[in-house]
Chain A
């Protein structure tokens, strides 16, 4: 496991709720709804639930995009953990980690000089990660999918009321 954004000890994830869904865009909404419901029950502040919804949606959209391109038969895994004082979300994909599209960031989204239609079929996954980074204080993106196989893992957490 090579941490990309931050370096911190890897925790063992004992899931409160685990979702495994086939890589279809329609299921991303389901993942958002479930994550928000578990976050609320875990004691995440109501004012932050929109943030949880958006961040989980971005992480899942990114994973679905990569799975559809590289491994459409494999499921995306979302682990929701209600730890003491913290609600943790782990979104893991099984796509090749050297895809390179994560390098594409916000400047590509706001650059209007490229031709019409260049970006609007699918927004590069890097934009989703940039949104997450701008939204969530505690986020780490690591190489390695579920069980340490190929893929990437996005870890996010939010404080809960004590």
Chain B
């Protein structure tokens, strides 16, 4: 399954819904999306990963790059993920300490810094 991306706004948060596979082939599209949002002044991002089937270290690198970009503007990047197979790679890489990971979009949107 290819990568799918869609965005919507809730208050000052921009939700990026990602579906399919994030790997070495598709990750550049996600990076482009995050770069565009930051360039557009969207500094508080929620990346909804509930429909992601596959994530590898290239995808993690893009998310870390996104986090660095929003933080440069005092922004935030929160993840929504409850899938064990996706959470596992965040744990292996130590990134659970870097990203706030939420169990629902509502929870991520209402979270305060």
A interface vs B, CB < 8 Å?
25-26, 28-29, 32, 50, 53-54, 57-58, 61, 64-65, 106, 109-110, 112, 114-120, 122-123, 127-128, 130-131, 134-135
CB distance from A74 to the nearest CB of B (A): 17
Provide the main secondary structure of the chain B interface.
Answer: helix
What range describes how many residues of B lie at the interface? 20 to 34
Given A29-B21, A112-B98, A116-B72, decide whether A135 and B61 contact each other with a Cβ distance below 8 A.
Answer: no
Is B41 on the interface with A (CB-CB < 8 A)?
no
A-B CB contacts (within 8 Å), total count: 94
Ordered nearest first, which 6 A-B pairs have the shortest CB separation?
Answer: A120-B65, A123-B61, A134-B92, A25-B25, A116-B68, A25-B24
- A61 in complex: contacting residue of B58, B68, B93, B94, CB < 8 Å: B58
- In the complex the two chains form, is A116's CB within 8 Å of B24's CB? no
Q: Determine the chain B residues whose CB is within 8 A of the CB of A115 once the complex forms.
A: 68
Is B97 on the interface with A (CB-CB < 8 A)?
yes
CB distance from B84 to the nearest CB of A (A): 9
